[in-house]
Amino acid sequence: MFEHTFSNVFFIFASKMKYTIKNIAELAGVSKGTVDRVLHERGKVSAKALEKVNAVLNEIDYKPNLLARSLKKTRNYHICVVLPDFNKDPYWSPCNEGIEEAIEEFASFGVFIEPFFFNPNDIKSFIKVNKKVLELLPNAVLLAPLFYKETIEIINKYALSNIIVSKFNNQLEINNTQNFVGQDLYKSGRIAASLMKEIISKNATIAIINIDEDSNNAIYVQEKEKGFRSFFNEIESYNIVTWNCKQQDIDAKLLDFINENIALSGIFVTTSKVYTIAEFIKNKKIEHIKVIGYDLLDENMLYLKNGIINFLIHQNPKKQVYLGLTYLVDYFLFDKEIPAKSLLPIDIITAENLETYTEN
Amino acid sequence: MFEHTFSNVFFIFASKMKYTIKNIAELAGVSKGTVDRVLHERGKVSAKALEKVNAVLNEIDYKPNLLARSLKKTRNYHICVVLPDFNKDPYWSPCNEGIEEAIEEFASFGVFIEPFFFNPNDIKSFIKVNKKVLELLPNAVLLAPLFYKETIEIINKYALSNIIVSKFNNQLEINNTQNFVGQDLYKSGRIAASLMKEIISKNATIAIINIDEDSNNAIYVQEKEKGFRSFFNEIESYNIVTWNCKQQDIDAKLLDFINENIALSGIFVTTSKVYTIAEFIKNKKIEHIKVIGYDLLDENMLYLKNGIINFLIHQNPKKQVYLGLTYLVDYFLFDKEIPAKSLLPIDIITAENLETYTEN
DNA sequence: TGAAAAAGTGTGCTCGAACACATTTTTTAA
DNA sequence: TTAAAAAATGTGTTCGAGCACACTTTTTCA
CATH number for the domain spanning A38: value is: 1.10.260.40
Mean pLDDT, all residues of chain A:
90
Query: Could you read off the pLDDT of A116-144 as tens digits, one per residue?
Result: 999 998 999 999 999 999 999 999 999 99
Statement to judge: residues A128 and A202 lie in one domain: no
> What sign results for the dihedral spanned by CA atoms A33, A34, A38, A41?
positive
Query: Could you read off the pLDDT of B241-262 as tens digits, one per residue?
Result: 999 988 888 888 888 898 888 8
Statement to judge: residues B166 and B211 lie in one domain: no
Distance from CA of B191 to the nearest CA of A (A): 5
User: Which of B 49-68 have CB under 7 A of nucleic chain C?
Assistant: 49, 68
Predicted local distance difference test score (pLDDT) of residue B216: 63
Give Cα separations from A243 to A127, A156, A240 (angstroms).
31, 36, 10
Statement to judge: residues B191 and B296 lie in one domain: yes
| B348 part of a folded domain | no
Q: B14: pLDDT confidence band, cut at 50, 70 and 90?
A: very low
Is the CB of A108 less than 8 angstroms away from the CB of B64? yes
| B2 part of a folded domain | no
Kindly list the residues from chain A whose CB atom is less than 8 angstroms away from the CB atom of residue B63. 107-108
Kindly list the residues from chain A whose CB atom is less than 8 angstroms away from the CB atom of residue B71. 65, 67-68, 71
Q: A185: pLDDT confidence band, cut at 50, 70 and 90?
A: very high
| A48 part of a folded domain | yes
- Between B13, B199, B344, which is nearest A112 by CB? B13
Query: Could you read off the pLDDT of A90-123 as tens digits, one per residue?
Result: 999 999 999 999 999 999 898 999 999 999 989 9
CATH number for the domain spanning B309: value is: 3.40.50.2300
Statement to judge: residues A40 and A113 lie in one domain: no
| Chain centre distance of CA A286 | 36
Is the CB of B109 less than 8 angstroms away from the CB of A360? no
| A353 part of a folded domain | no
Residue nearest to nucleotide D14 (CA to C1'): A72
For residues B209 and B277, is the Cβ–Cβ distance under 8 A? yes
Least confident residue range of A301-310, B9-18, B157-166:
B9-18
| B71 part of a folded domain | no
Query: Could you read off the pLDDT of A52-94 as tens digits, one per residue?
Result: 999 999 999 999 999 999 999 877 899 999 999 999 999 999 9
Predicted local distance difference test score (pLDDT) of residue B16: 60
Predicted local distance difference test score (pLDDT) of residue B174: 59
Predicted local distance difference test score (pLDDT) of residue A2: 42
- Rounded mean pLDDT of A289-316? 96
- Rounded mean pLDDT of B157-179? 86
Least confident residue range of A131-135, A163-167, B75-79:
B75-79
Using CB atoms within 10 Å of the CB of residue A198, give its burial: 0 to 12 exposed, 13 to 18 middle, 19+ buried. middle
Kindly list the residues from chain A whose CB atom is less than 8 angstroms away from the CB atom of residue B194. 350-352
Statement to judge: residues A195 and A132 lie in one domain: no
- Which domain covers residue A204, as residue numbers? 185-314
The yes-or-no verdict on residue A331 having pLDDT over 60 is yes
Give Cα separations from A237 to A188, A206, B131, B231, B307 (angstroms).
22, 11, 63, 33, 19
Interface test with A, best of B111, B356, B357 (most A CBs within 10 A): B356
The proportion of chain B whose per-residue pLDDT surpasses 70, expressed as a percent, equals 94
- If we measure between CA atoms, which residue out of A229, A222, A264 comes closest to residue A244? A222
| A168 part of a folded domain | yes
Residue nearest to nucleotide D13 (CA to C1'): A72
Rounded CA separation A349/A357 (Å): 8
Strand D nucleotides where any atom sits below 7 Å of a protein CB: 7-12, 14-21
Is the CB of B65 less than 8 angstroms away from the CB of A184? no
Using CB atoms within 10 Å of the CB of residue B287, give its burial: 0 to 12 exposed, 13 to 18 middle, 19+ buried. exposed
Residue of B nearest to A231 (CA): B352
Query: Could you read off the pLDDT of A145-158 as tens digits, one per residue?
Result: 998 889 999 999 99
Q: B323: pLDDT confidence band, cut at 50, 70 and 90?
A: very high
Whole-number distance in Å between B104 CA and C14 C1': 27
Predicted local distance difference test score (pLDDT) of residue A201: 86
CB pairs under 8 A between A and B: 133
| B142 part of a folded domain | yes
- For strand C, is any atom closer than 7 Å to the CB of B33? yes
The proportion of chain A whose per-residue pLDDT surpasses 90, expressed as a percent, equals 74
Strands A140-143 and A164-168: parallel
Structure letter (DSSP) for residue B14? G
Q: B235: pLDDT confidence band, cut at 50, 70 and 90?
A: confident
- For strand C, is any atom closer than 7 Å to the CB of B72? yes
Query: Could you read off the pLDDT of B143-164 as tens digits, one per residue?
Result: 999 988 899 999 999 999 999 9
The yes-or-no verdict on residue A360 having pLDDT over 70 is no
Nucleotide of closest approach to B44 (CA, C1'): C8
- Rounded mean pLDDT of A248-253? 87
Statement to judge: residues B308 and B324 lie in one domain: no
Strands A311-314 and A347-349: antiparallel
Strand C nucleotides where any atom sits below 7 Å of a protein CB: 7-12, 14-21
Statement to judge: residues A206 and A246 lie in one domain: yes
Annotate A105-133 with DSSP letters as a single string: HHHTTTEEEEEEEE-TT-HHHHHHHHHHH
Query: Could you read off the pLDDT of B82-140 as tens digits, one per residue?
Result: 999 999 999 999 999 999 999 999 998 989 999 999 999 899 999 999 999 999 999 99
| B221 part of a folded domain | yes
The yes-or-no verdict on residue A337 having pLDDT over 90 is yes
Predicted local distance difference test score (pLDDT) of residue B13: 39
Structure letter (DSSP) for residue A16? G
Statement to judge: residues A323 and A304 lie in one domain: no
Statement to judge: residues A159 and A219 lie in one domain: no
Statement to judge: residues B178 and B325 lie in one domain: yes
Kindly list the residues from chain B whose CB atom is less than 8 angstroms away from the CB atom of residue A18. 76, 107, 110, 112
Statement to judge: residues A105 and A44 lie in one domain: no
Quote the number of domains for chain A: 3
Q: A48: pLDDT confidence band, cut at 50, 70 and 90?
A: very high
Interface test with A, best of B11, B62, B66, B67 (most A CBs within 10 A): B67
